[in-house]
Structure 1
Amino acid sequence: MVRIPDARVRPLSVVLYRQGRSFFRGSLLPLLDNAQPLGLQPQASLLTDISGRRSRRVTLDLGLHILRGFLSGFGLPHASLEARLNGAAYLAFAFPAAKRSALDINALGWALTERRIARHNPAATMLFSSEPYELFLIDSIITSHQIAIVVGGTRKQRLNLDLAALREALAELGGSVETGAAGEVELIISSKAELTFAFSCVRVCFDHEGQITSLPPDPYTRTLSEHWCTTLPLTTHPGLLVWDERL
């Protein structure tokens, strides 16, 4: 899951990794010595098993931390909304109408046959240094143009929120408020663009000349965050990603 939903994260996007830090580096094509299009089109599908499905409940403090990232991805301020949620005990999240866009890995392999990483490209030099970065390629993404935030209280204490103030705050953000079962409140926020909140990737292996040799799944768990506790096995499963913009 991407902490800050990001429309830039698309199939054939590059992630560099080293020593527990990750960096988003844009498209793969400019890194190749032959930048001709690969001729691949991601296949889109609706994820009925994920659409509308809630995440597990998290405490208010952690939920607000997650919410800040989501709202940042939607280009929305979070201070006014956070102030209206102080009476909540927990938050949960869902992505209505989630979609998957994925490349066929076998077709990707054929498309990269005879392709090389351009050593003379300054953006690629860190891949050939004495302590090189590892190169990963995003092959599939999960997107949604909406996020639903479920707000609830405890069994002993009912949810105490000012719904009128919440509706006013959400209206300013282009969202809506709905009351649900068990005294929960659901906040719906929309974006004009489809934003990526989860992804999968493969490792790109190449020789000393930059010739791409294989695209294996990575068997190790790597930390793609400045936070030590946020880990991601870089295989075919969606993962949490926090870009480090300081590279």
Structure 2
Amino acid sequence: MNTSTDYVVETCNLSKSYGAVQAVQDVNFKLSSNEVVGLLGDNGAGKTTLIRMISGAEKPTGGQIMLRGEPVEMQSPRDAMRAGIETIHQYNSTVGTMSVAENIFLGREMLAGRIGNFGILRRSEMRRLAEASLGNVGFHLRSPDAQVGELSGGQRQGVAIARALQFQSKIMILDEPTNHISVKETNNVIDFTKNLPNRGYSGIFISHNLGHVFDCCSRIVVMSRGRIVADEKSEALTISKIESLL
């Protein structure tokens, strides 16, 4: 039986209200080490608010978040990143006007030194590491100097995933990562997500595509009206059962 120290993420009666609207109510969510959990729910079910609290983008109005058995109060997404949590959104995880390498090291640039208030970037090393990180997740781009805005949706997802790996973010939140990308790119993302436990990572996979969730998640959590209404091993659920809960 798991104890709180077995979980890399655990929420205890976590709640979030916006005035009179209760978006999340007393949610007890758990993510074990080397596990990928599917998080499902219709629009307004509370799943987005839940992951925003876990990733530091929203502050809870009640309850507690635990990381590796310790209570935390994250004030921002940067706090979450420092704690090893990286969120990979459908589109807004990258900056289109910056290069692939600049995106991977955004906010965590490698400096060779400073002249006054200006940092001197180790550009060649950042380019080399960016290329290696992309190769590790199966995304090979023509150049780490390419502008991200020129890439396909799936390639942009690859850049966001490579950034998470580069900085050893052991907990990955993948928010609709397969929306509006090609079949080949979707397969890359699914294969990467499925293999997270083998790499020593844990993941929360949010998708409206139930087939993708069953493909890569060992456990599925379903939310409705701000509460968890199902938390089962994937093999114990069916698509029709999930649809009846949404």
TM-score range, shorter chain: under 0.3
TM-score (norm 2): 0.21
Indicate the structure with greater helix content.
2
Calculate the TM-score normalised by the size of structure 1: 0.21
Q: Which has the larger radius of gyration?
A: 1
